[in-house]
Amino acid sequence: MPGEHVGIVGAGAVGCYFGGMLARAGLPVTLIGRQQHVDAINRDGLFLERSDFQGYIKLQASTSIESIRDATIVLLCVKTIDTETAALALAPHLAGNAVLVSFQNGVDNVERIERAAGIKVVPSVVYVAAAMTGPGRVKHNGRGDVVIGDEPRLAAMFLDGGIPCRISDNVAGELWTKLVMNCAYNAISAVTRLQYGLIKENPFTVDVMEEVIKEVVAVGSAAGIRLPGTEQLKDAALKLGNAMATATSSTEQDISRGRLTEIDSLNGYVARRGSELGVPAPVNRTLHALVKLLERR
Please report which confidence band the pLDDT of residue 297 belongs to, taking 50, 70 and 90 as the band edges.
confident
DSSP single-letter state for residue 143: E
The answer on 291 and 245 residing in a single domain is yes
The answer on 176 and 163 residing in a single domain is no
88 close to 117: Cβ distance less than 8 angstroms: yes
The CATH number of the domain holding residue 178 is 1.10.1040.10
Please report which confidence band the pLDDT of residue 41 belongs to, taking 50, 70 and 90 as the band edges.
very high
Q: Which of 144, 167, 190 is the last residue of a domain?
A: 167
pTM of the full structure = 0.92
* Structural domain that includes position 29: 6-167
| pLDDT over 80 (residue 2) | no
- The verdict on residue 88 lying in a domain is yes
Task: Provide mean pLDDT across the span 129-138.
Answer: 94
Which residue in 12, 261, 89 sits closest to 269, CA to CA?
Answer: 261
Q: Which of 152, 167, 182 is the last residue of a domain?
A: 167
pLDDT on residue 124: 97
Q: How far apart are CA 135 and CA 80, in angstroms?
A: 22
H-type helices in 33-93, by residue range? 35-44, 83-90
The answer on 288 and 225 residing in a single domain is yes
Instruction: Name 131's bridge partners.
Output: 139
- The verdict on residue 133 lying in a domain is yes
Domain count, the chain: 2
The answer on 178 and 260 residing in a single domain is yes
Q: How far apart are CA 221 and CA 281, in angstroms?
A: 13
Q: Tens of pLDDT along 140-168?
A: 988 899 999 999 999 999 999 999 999 99
The answer on 193 and 106 residing in a single domain is no
| pLDDT over 80 (residue 93) | yes
The answer on 183 and 155 residing in a single domain is no
- The verdict on residue 1 lying in a domain is no
The answer on 191 and 282 residing in a single domain is yes
86 close to 33: Cβ distance less than 8 angstroms: no
pLDDT on residue 3: 84
pLDDT on residue 1: 57
Task: Provide mean pLDDT across the span 44-55.
Answer: 97
The answer on 135 and 27 residing in a single domain is yes
Mean pLDDT, the chain, integer: 96
